Amino acid sequence: MTMMNVQLDGGTIFKPGETITGQVSWYLDKRPKAARVRLFWYTMGKGTEDSQVEDQLVFDKPMQQDNRSFKFKLPVAPYSFSGTLITLRWGVELDIKGVKEVCAKEFVLSPFEKEIVL
């Protein structure tokens, strides 16, 4: 049985340049060879979809059942937005080698304390 979780401290709306902190946890059938948490953004909608990993933290000696903290400094851009043709979203993602799925928690990056609607 596989269980994974991503938890963000301080809600789901952050301003550019702030620090985002949180915890990831997992329970796996066996000890993983590697585990990491990534800060990323992606686009979705009509046309070509894009994504980029802005930062990542690789955990030393992950255990079968584990809890780890993370901390990332957020970039100044791009902002989260939602439009008719394209949307840009931010997230923090737990990726464990040997596990097919990933676990992610989305958040808004905006100087206006809400997602920009185009």
Domains of the chain with bracketed CATH: 3-117 (2.60.40.640)
Residue 92, token pair as written in the block? 């923090």
pLDDT at 78: 97
pTM: 0.93
Judged on CB neighbours under 10 Å (0-12, 13-18, 19+), 33 is: exposed
pLDDT at 47: 78
pLDDT at 1: 81
pLDDT at 20: 98
pLDDT at 19: 98
The CA distance from 12 to 65, in Å, is 26
pLDDT at 95: 97
Q: Where are the beta strands (DSSP E) in the chain?
A: 3-8, 13-14, 19-27, 35-45, 51-59, 65-73, 81-82, 86-96, 103-109, 116-117
Residue 70, token pair as written in the block? 């993370």
pLDDT at 82: 96
pLDDT at 113: 86
pLDDT at 30: 95
> Which residue positions in the chain have pLDDT lower than 50?
none
Q: Is 11 left (phi over 0), alpha (psi -120 to 50) or beta?
A: left
Q: In 3D, which of 37, 56, 47, 55 has the Cα closest to residue 87?
A: 47
